[in-house]
Each structure stands twice: as C-alpha cells, then as structure tokens.
Structure 1
Amino acid sequence: MNPTRRTVLLAAGTGAAAALLPASPATAEPRAAAALQPYASYWYPDSFPSGSPGAGITWRSLKSWRAADDTDLAFNAASVPLAARFTPTPANTTARSGQARIQSLVSFGPTASNPSQGAADADYYALTHWSYVDELIFWGGSSGEGLILAPNAPIVDAAHRHGVPVLGNVFLPPVAYGGQLQWTRDLVQKDASGHYPLAAQLVAVAEAYGFDGWFINAETSGGNAALATDMLGFLTELKTLGTAKGQRVTWYDSMTVSGSVSWQGALNNQNRVFFQAADSMFVDFRWSSSSLASSGTAAQQLGRSRYELWAGVDVEANGWNRSVNWDAMVPSGSSHVVSVGFYRPEWTRNHLPAGRTPGDFHAADDRFWTGRSLDPAKPDATDTWRAPAVSVADRSTVTSVPFASTFNTGHGLRWYEDGKVTSTAPWNHLGLQDRLPSRRWVVRTTGARPAVTFDFADAWHGGSSVLVAGALDAPATLDLYATRLPLGEDTVVELTHRVDSGSATVELAVATAEPSGAGRPYTYTYFPVTAGSGWGTSTVRLTGLPAGGTVHGLGVRLTGSGGAVKWRLGGLAVRNQAAQSPSVPADLSITGASGGDLRFAWRAVPGDVRHYTLHRVLPDGTRRFLGGTAQRAFFVGGLTPEGGESTARFELRAVGELYTASAPATVTHTW
C-alpha cells in the first residue's frame, strides 16, 4: 500500500513537504475481462513495476501506444477547440490584467478506473470559475497504477469552451512513494538517431486526445548530472515538437542540473536551464518573498515574462484557511511579482462532510474563487484569503452569435429538458457544461443584496439554473455576461425564466460600451421582459441600440413589489435569426454489448453542433435521458429490459448552440 502524505512527511522531514504528492490510489472494483466501460488513459513510460497490477488497474506502456490500437480513443478524445478569450474592464479596482495568472493542479478522480465520460453521481468537482484560470493540470499518477495521465475529454471540453488549456501530467514519484529511477531513464531514453521517442509519443497522445501539452514532474531521487542532461534534451525536444502542434510544457521545480531532486522554491542556476526549455515553471512551495522577487527578475533577465513562474500555494488540506504571503506574489499596492499555482483546489469539495450536495460544493467554490463577499465588485477588505477575483481580472469567450447558455454546471441531481424531468438519476459530465458567467455574482442595488446561486432543485435544461432570492427592497441589477457580441438589425435576446414566489418586474440589461473604469458599473439600457407563473421564454428585440455596434455586457434588473422574491433564470440566448436544427446524426450503431452495457458510435454531424444526447424510448412511449457528450461515441451501463420488452430502442440527437435538437437517429438492441 502506498504511504499516506503524513507518513511521508514524518519519515522524510521537511524536504518531502515540498513535493507534489500523488492523489489517493484507486479503490476500484475488479473489472470483468469483457467490461465495456471506457476509462481515462494512463501509462508508464516503458517498463512496469514488479508483480501484478491491483484490482481495477491496467498497466500500459506509453512507448508502445498507437492511436490506431487505442480502442477507447473515441471516448477519450476531446471535441471542443480551445476558444479565444478577452479581458473586460475589471470588476474591481484591485484585479489586474496582463500580470499574474492562475494555474490549477486538480485531481478530478483516481488514476485508474476514472470513467471517460462522467458518471451517475452528482458529487463531483465541477469547476466553474474558469475565467480566473490560465492553465489546468490534470493531476494524478502513482507508482502502482501509472505515471502519465491524459485528462478526461469532458474536462478538456469544458475548459476549452472557457478558453483554458489543459495539460496532462507526467509524474515520476519520490522514492518514498514507490518511485523508481528506471522510470525516469525510460522517459528520457534516446533512439539510435539521438532523438527522444517518448517526447514524440507525448505530443502524439496530446494531439490525438485533443488536449494542450504536459506538466513534467520529475521527483525521483538518485540521479546524476548525465541523467539531468538527458532530461534537458528530452524537455527541449518535447517543447519543440509540442510547439509545432500548439502544445505547451510546464516544468516543476524538482530536479536540478546535478540530477538530484532538490526543490529550490525559486528560479536560479540549479533549474534555470529547465525553465528555459519549457513554457513555464511551477515554483515549489518553499518560496519566500525574496526568492520570488529574485525569480521574477531572473526570468526577465532571460528575456522571459516573470508571470511564466507559478508560485505554488498548497490548498489541499486547508483551502482558504491557509495562511499565505499574498504580497510576495500578488501585492495589492504594486505590480504583481509572479503568477499563482494552486495545488489541489478541489478541497472546496473534499472538505465538505458526507452527504454534500452540488449546492454545498458551489457555495464553497464561490467562496474560494470570489472571496468572502461573494461579489467580485465588492471584495471584503478584512478577508485574509485573497481570492483570485481580488487580484486577477476575469476573462470571457462570449464573442460570437449565436450564443446560448442554460446555466448548466456539468452535474446535477436530475436532468431537465424544456423544464421537465427526463431522468431522475444524479449525474456528472463536464463536457455538457455551458459557458458560464465569468464574475459571480456582481449585484448592484441600494437595498439589501439578494442571494444569487446556481440551484439544482429545478432547471429548464440540464441540471441547474440561476436562483435569485431576497427581499428586493430596491431594484437589483445582476451582471451575467461580459461579451463582445456584434449587434445587428435583427439581434434578439431570449430569456427563459420564472418567478417561484413573490412578485417582481424583470428587465433585460444590455450595455454597448465598457464601464468607465475598473470597478465601475456598466451603463445599461433596460428592456421590459414578461414574467409569468411558470417557465416561459421572453424574446426581446434590441430596438434603439446601434446596429453595427457591440454588446459588451448582459444582465437583468429585478424590481420587487414588496415581500420576498424567488426568481429563477433557466436560459439565455442571443441570435440574429431563427434557430436552425442540426442534421440527423448518421451511422448510429451499437459497437459493443455485454449484458446491459452498451457502446454507441456515430458519424460527426457537420455544422454548428454543441453536443449529442442519447435517450431510451420506453414501452409506453416516454423518453428517458441516458446521457450526452461532445464525443462521437458514448457508453451506457447497467441497462435492463423494461415493461417486458424484448428490444430496447434508443434515439440520438445532435444539439445546436441554441439548444435546438435534430430529428432522432434510432437504433435498437435485442435483449
């Protein structure tokens, strides 16, 4: 059994406290040989440990990987391209653009037996604050399972929708965690021509799987200068090959030029050549104010940006309760020194007690990323946790029409379509996450501030909606999206909403210019919106706004008429013409069957397709949602005959950006 984090720290002393330690090992049930469930991929560089893999674990060699032989590739390859994003005028006067950035190292699940496309469980780290993140590391790996991890496709798809690149992880563990120096030698082996075959393999994997590069974490001690030279050659070739494919490489401050593992907590002569061979470097947690200052200066002297250094902040154990010298990285009164690297911010989920709900998680996650005030326009100056929203300007990818959101966070307690429940099963699948508001939640009112949350008790589509609840003793304007949407003669905005309790007047807020300065509000034009007692969609024509202009901000203004109000927003769409339905998916087939486990595949639909949905048609004619994905393949497990049927019927639909669905493609399965 792998040692715990605590036993490593006690055994190895303060040096081990600096290490980036692995996620918990898998506790998966054994898989039957014929099991069809696809899992996220992981490998060793070449050789394996002694003995046999544990239950639920498959040992694979990266050196022998070939895309053509990868039977799960269709389930693991991301489909959403990396979106361009822009920086709107900051919501407060302390958040800066063009300076420090945020890197996030997250363990979304175990190394082994991590489902490729979500699961029937709402308890998941469904990150939504992408607007503050510049690089996501898919953290994990262990000596008994595998060391090289490719991120799940849903995570990449959600990140790319928000303009965030995702890096796979190469973890060469400390000896205390079972690390073997042979694995480091395997990674940096050369062929007869002097090239590094595993560098080419890493680039090929990232290209085939659709993610953006690699985080290299070499922490196995015992090396020498010759091994460090080989590592530098490997890193140089990895970056050269990766750059040609639009990929990036981040190096962890661990191995030094002598080949030893000695965490510097700085950019210095011991690790400078590795930083120069990479796109950025994660600076180990042992940094100090002076070491970060000197590191930033050293980066600039090399002709590099100081913000290509990520100063590690370990939040795995204590989250926002951790004491951090923020002024060493992101001082409030002067230019930022370096960027910030959060290690294991999924603490916002993991520290919650058993029985936690999606709402519990998002409340904690909002506190982490926005701060105690829960309003990025009004930071709490007494909050010792300097949340990213306080220092870093948010970004947005909402730049083209059509644009739509149903405020789906990528997990839920049920699945809704047109306001009706079509599956009562809890679920998670980040690839179904919408582009979400980048600054949550900015509310401007002279009265009591209403509470604004993602809510999972009801939704129009997906698993969640936005709930605004409060007295509304004065008009309250809620910023929703910072945008760069072209404004045409026929541009309309659609709001799908309802009043759950109380009474409120609803207005759409549209801004055609940036605020006058950081921390200043948008100057909105307000359009009346009809509000009914149930879900309804109001179409607002932007009459009077300049054609050929640009929509810079979208929001809503709520005015109460006395008493508490609960108002729910289920969808928002901006379009210039009536929505067109996508084409019907072609060549739908069941490519594998084992009992109630089925694999589906189909051909990609040309044109504007956001994702695909799979339903089962029950004997009484009702449709049950089984899942959705941006991929061209999907797995469903545990199905059984219903109502005495001898054949099960399935329907696949393509869903467009405005959530219009195609006619169904159908396929049947005989029990």
Structure 2
Amino acid sequence: MKKSKKFFIRICLSTGILASATLLTACFGTPAKHVKANYKVTAEAIPDYQSKNAPISSYWMPDKFLEWSAENDKDLVYNQSRVPLTKRISPDKLSPSNQNQNKKTKIVALSMMNSQTSGNPSRGTTKFESYTFDYWQYIDTLVYWGGSSGEGIIVTPSADVIDEAHSNGVPVLGTIFLPPKEYGGKVDWVKTMLKKDEQGQYPFASQMVKVAKTYGFEGWFINEETQGLNADDAANMKALIQQVKKEDSSLQIMWYDAMTKDGKVDWQNQLNDQNATFVQDKAADAMFLNFWWTQNNLADQKLLEKSNLYAKNHNIDPYNIYAGIDVQAKDVQTPVKWNLLEKGNQATQTSIGLYAASATYTNASNWDDFQNRESAFWVNQKADPRQVDHSVNESWTGLSKYVLEKSAISGNEFNTNFNLGNGYNYFKAGQKISEMDWNDRSLAGILPSYRWIIDNEGKNKISPSFDFANAYNGGNSLKFMAEHLDAGKSSNITLFASDLKIAMGAKFSVSMRSDQALKVSAILELANGQKVSIAGDKSLTENWSK
C-alpha cells in the first residue's frame, strides 16, 4: 500500500488564453453517492440573530464560573464542539519548503477571533465580515483571546472556531485574563480563583477541567497581571495549575510571563529563576514570554539565547517557550530584531508567540487588503514559501521562513470544498441557493498547505485567489486566473501535504469549471518520491463538471 506525500493539479491549455479555472471540491477515497435535485434561490429574510433567545459563546466572572454546570447551561448544545482534534502528520514525514524551516519551531497565535468578549453568536452570523483565519498550517496552538473587566475575564472559544481548528489539527485554548488594576483588575478575583475547599483542593481548577472537556477545547491560557499579590499567592497559582494537570494530563496550560515566584507583576522577557517555576514540577506546559526582548534597551542582553540555555539546563524544552511578538498595532509593519530569535543552522532559540495575530484583519481596509496582509504575514511578500524573506531594518519576515507547513490530511480519505467560512451567497452542487451574506467557520474547508507553489512552463503566468461569485458547495471556490498561457505548456500547482494511503481501486475526483476549454491532471507524489499523473477524463468547460 503506497502513501501520497503531496498532491498537485496540472493545468494545460491546448490553444488560446485561459481566463479562469475554478477548483471547488477535491475528493480522495471512496466516492460518495450524490442525489440529484433542483435547487431554487431562497426567499431572503434576515433573522434576528442577536435576539435574547439566540445562543452566544460563554464568558464569566470568577464567581459565576464556579457556579457553572452543564445541566444549567441553556446554550451548551450550541457551544459544544463535536469535531474531534484531527491528528497531524509527524513533522519528520514532512518536507521543508525552504532550507530555513525548522521542524522543532512552533507558533502559538493569540487571536481576537471575535471582536468582543460578550454577545458573540455561537456559530456565525448573517454577515460576510468576519475573521476567517486560513493559514492553519503555520500554527501549532490557537489561543482564543478575550476577556475584559467589564464583561467577563474567563472566555471559552466559540464553537465554530474550535470546529475549524480541530479540522486542521490545531488545539485551542480558552483565556483566563486577570487584568492589571489600571484595566479594572481586582485582587478579589484572583483570591476567588485560588480559594481552597475543606479538602485543600481548588474548586476553580476542577471547573477549568470540566468546562474545557464539556465544551471540547484543549485547555487554558492564564494571564495573571493583577498587582497586589504575594509569594503565597504565586505558590497557590502553581498548585492550582498542577491540580488541573493531575485531574486531566491531556489539558494544556500556557502561562504568561507576568507574575513572578514572589507574586509580583514583573515581566522578565526571558525564562529565568523568577518565572521558571510555573513550567516546572508538572505545572504549565508552556510559557509565553513578554515582548520586550526585542526592544533596543534589552536587545544587547540576548534574552532569547539566555532562555534557550536556561531551559536546556533545567530540563525544559526550549520550544515550549514562546518569544512574544506584539503585532496588534502594525501587523506586517511590526519591527522585530529577528537575529535575536535566530540560532543559526536553520534553527531558532525558542518558538514564536504572536499577540493579536488577528491584526491582519482588524487593520485591513477591505477584504482584498486583509488577504494580502495575511499572505505577507504568514508566508512572505512573494507569496511563495520556497522563497526566504531577508529582514531589512527589522522589517517583517514571513513566518514560513521559520516553520513547516503542517498538515492533518492522512488516512484513507480526504475531501474539501476550499471554503473560507463566509460568503455573499451560498451554493450547492454549483447552484446558488441563497443570496444572503453569512459566516460560519464550522463550514470552512481544508485549504492548500502551500500558498502558493506554482511552477509554470514557457511564459505561463497564473494568479490564485478565492472566488465568492462562483462556487460549488458553500460560499467560495479556489480560482486560478491566467494572465497568459502558452499552447501546449502546463502549470503545476502544488496544493497539499498529505499522508494518505492509496489502496487498489482508490478514486480521485475534482469539481471544476473554466471559461475556456482546458485539460487538467492530478499529480500524486508518493512517499518514495515517484510522481503519478492522473489525466482528467474530460476537458473543462464553463459549466461545473466532475
């Protein structure tokens, strides 16, 4: 039984110029049965999704969090994710796109997946505008960032975010935000969290386990920045984390570099004797370092290099330490001293932590601007992970320079509709059945691992994008626009990294359309390096065909 390592599509035009080819559904495995039907555009009626009866994502103050129970959670059925966390392919089986990528370096993204703490519908809205993150291949953990002293400081990920992350093999953490007093923080909130019962246990820790397991996410990011605490409080905070891990060792806890072992708020910007206790002795799994390691007044101290050495000397994995980079204000314009992160030999001192990775969306002027910012942020200015950006005057370096493209495509079967999770319309089998704007990240498909690797013969030139005007299933399709195609020349587009088992009788199908007659082949790169080309059984036309 052979395995596919990557798969591609090859576009070839016999004569003329290609206007566009739209790739909607790629299916690998046993073909599903299709039921023919005649669809009609629905009559549009905008529901009041913000009504009092609409389910919303959960958030609490500490006392209310302790009162929560599954039995009394009226919105639980809507806020639970039932999509299991897909297992990703081992990095050892993946091939780097460029020589700088390191298989050990990880990225955690702290992202405002919704614009506020309260009032977020559990599963999308009747609006197109939403942060539909689609570069999952570059992150290893998503922190659903939120919390405010005026709404709630404990926030669970909305179900649509968990669903999409799990489909891409990415664990999700909720947030416990204990704010500074300047932002409304209260010592009493921390004391409530650290209160013990008669058996000397922390009810709050047990509640953290229950909520995460019931809702279906992987753990918590703890951000303790409230002043006025002491060494006993710090010891209790560590003990609370240890209880969480004891009750369920599979839950992940990430600790933020703010509280020190004496209970003070004193950002270290490195791993050292002041904060390491929180990731030792079966406490937190990882630490997110504060951002100042890259500032001029601290740069000469090489804090990430010191963190790497400290971690190794204290039996801590340096790649479970994340160098924080605050990108909220400037996203792709954020200045970073990348040389302090880099270690030589295509490695980094620590992993990478991004605060407000969603800034590419919040700072964008329109949808196209958002897509361009995302591409430059996660890949590079050339939108080709094979290329390596070199930072000039601390300019932003695309993150594909440092980390592999991960993939959760394995097993015997794979299919995707290439949906981003929103749309101006909704399509089924190529027919428009709704003209209502919508977003629901639960409906997002698996997007290409490589954005983009395109090899052109002759003078061929192809530009990829997402088409919201024509789709097969969902809100959008994958579109390739050709500025020029030479007759008899082909363009190879590398789409997915995979670990798919190919049994005798396996089927590969794709639904496509084109403005002009076009030949398409699927190319599978096997684990032994052999490439197998499967010619399409028909030429494409302006109508959808399989």
Residue matched to 1:271: 275
- CA offset at residue 186 of structure 1? 0.8
Letter matched to residue 365 of structure 1:
E
Contact 1:158 1:432 in 2 (8 A): yes
1:398-449 deviations in Å (ceiling 9; x for gaps): 1123311111111111111011111111111111111221111111124354
Which region of structure 1 is more displaced relative to structure 2, 126-135 or 294-303?
294-303
Residue matched to 1:216: 222
- Within 5 A, what are the aligned runs for 1:124-523? 124-243=130-249, 246-276=250-280, 277-288=283-294, 290-331=302-343, 333-353=345-365, 356-357=366-367, 359-381=368-390, 384-446=395-457, 447-470=459-482, 471-473=484-486, 474-500=489-515, 502-513=516-527, 523=531
- Within 5 A, what are the aligned runs for 1:55-94? 61-86=64-89, 87=91, 88-94=94-100
SS of the residue 2:513 aligns to: strand
CA distance in 2, matches of 1:31, 1:369: 33
SS of the residue 2:142 aligns to: strand
CA distance in 2, matches of 1:31, 1:345: 27
Q: 1:419 to 1:330 in 2, by over 3 A?
A: farther
CA distance in 1, matches of 2:493, 2:472: 19
CA distance in 1, matches of 2:85, 2:276: 30
- CA offset at residue 42 of structure 1? 0.5
Q: Which of 521, 526, 544 is matched with 1:536 structurally?
A: 544
Contact 2:59 2:153 in 1 (8 A): yes
1:625-669 deviations in Å (ceiling 9; x for gaps): xxxxxxxxxxxxxxxxxxxxxxxxxxxxxxxxxxxxxxxxxxxxx
5+ residue gaps, structure 2, are 1-47
CA distance in 2, matches of 1:332, 1:376: 19
CA distance in 1, matches of 2:464, 2:449: 14
Contact 2:70 2:76 in 1 (8 A): yes
Which region of structure 1 is more displaced relative to structure 2, 66-75 or 523-532?
523-532
Q: 1:396 to 1:30 in 2, by over 3 A?
A: closer
Letter matched to residue 398 of structure 2:
A
Are 1:106 and 2:111 an aligned pair?
Answer: yes
CA distance in 2, matches of 1:420, 1:332: 53
CA distance in 1, matches of 2:544, 2:264: 64
After TM superposition, the score normalised by the length of structure 1 is: 0.69
- CA offset at residue 242 of structure 1? 3.1
- CA offset at residue 537 of structure 1? 3.4
Q: 1:330 to 1:430 in 2, by over 3 A?
A: farther
Contact 1:508 1:529 in 2 (8 A): no
1:290-331 deviations in Å (ceiling 9; x for gaps): 111111111112212100001111111101111111222245
CA distance in 1, matches of 2:539, 2:288: 50
Q: 1:504 to 1:381 in 2, by over 3 A?
A: farther
CA distance in 2, matches of 1:142, 1:514: 53
Contact 1:438 1:482 in 2 (8 A): yes
1:459-490 deviations in Å (ceiling 9; x for gaps): 11111111111212342100111111111121
Contact 2:471 2:477 in 1 (8 A): yes
Letter matched to residue 463 of structure 1:
G
SS of the residue 1:120 aligns to: coil
SS of the residue 2:255 aligns to: strand
- CA offset at residue 96 of structure 1? 1.9
Q: 1:230 to 1:334 in 2, by over 3 A?
A: same
Contact 1:330 1:339 in 2 (8 A): no
- CA offset at residue 70 of structure 1? 0.5
After TM superposition, the score normalised by the length of structure 2 is: 0.85
SS of the residue 1:81 aligns to: coil
CA distance in 2, matches of 1:463, 1:432: 9
CA distance in 2, matches of 1:30, 1:177: 31
Letter matched to residue 497 of structure 2:
A
Contact 2:101 2:347 in 1 (8 A): no
- CA offset at residue 378 of structure 1? 2.8
1:123-179 deviations in Å (ceiling 9; x for gaps): 111111111111100001000100000101110111011110000000000111011
SS of the residue 1:237 aligns to: helix
- CA offset at residue 231 of structure 1? 1.3
CA distance in 2, matches of 1:431, 1:535: 28
Contact 2:168 2:446 in 1 (8 A): yes
- CA offset at residue 513 of structure 1? 2.8
Residue matched to 1:525: 533
Q: 1:30 to 1:491 in 2, by over 3 A?
A: closer
Letter matched to residue 483 of structure 1:
S
- Within 5 A, what are the aligned runs for 1:515-594? 523-538=531-546
SS of the residue 2:545 aligns to: strand
SS of the residue 2:328 aligns to: coil
Which region of structure 1 is more displaced relative to structure 2, 137-146 or 464-473?
464-473
Q: 1:228 to 1:380 in 2, by over 3 A?
A: closer
CA distance in 2, matches of 1:183, 1:151: 21
Please identify runs of 4+ aligned residues in structure 1 that moved more than 6 A.
Answer: 29-32
- CA offset at residue 104 of structure 1? 0.1
CA distance in 1, matches of 2:261, 2:102: 35
Q: 1:489 to 1:31 in 2, by over 3 A?
A: closer
Contact 2:320 2:351 in 1 (8 A): yes
CA distance in 2, matches of 1:326, 1:75: 42
Residue matched to 1:658: none
Residue matched to 2:61: 44
CA distance in 2, matches of 1:64, 1:526: 58
CA distance in 2, matches of 1:150, 1:233: 22
1:483-524 deviations in Å (ceiling 9; x for gaps): 111111211110100112x44322211211365xxxxxx845
Which one scores higher on RCO, CA 8 angstroms, separation ≥ 6?
A: 2
CA distance in 1, matches of 2:97, 2:267: 37
- CA offset at residue 336 of structure 1? 1.5
CA distance in 2, matches of 1:405, 1:450: 22
Residue matched to 2:18: none
Contact 1:420 1:460 in 2 (8 A): yes
CA distance in 2, matches of 1:454, 1:332: 37
CA distance in 2, matches of 1:190, 1:209: 25
Q: CA RMSD in A?
A: 1.9
Contact 1:63 1:201 in 2 (8 A): yes
Letter matched to residue 266 of structure 1:
Q
Q: Per residue, is there more helix in 1 or in 2? A: 2
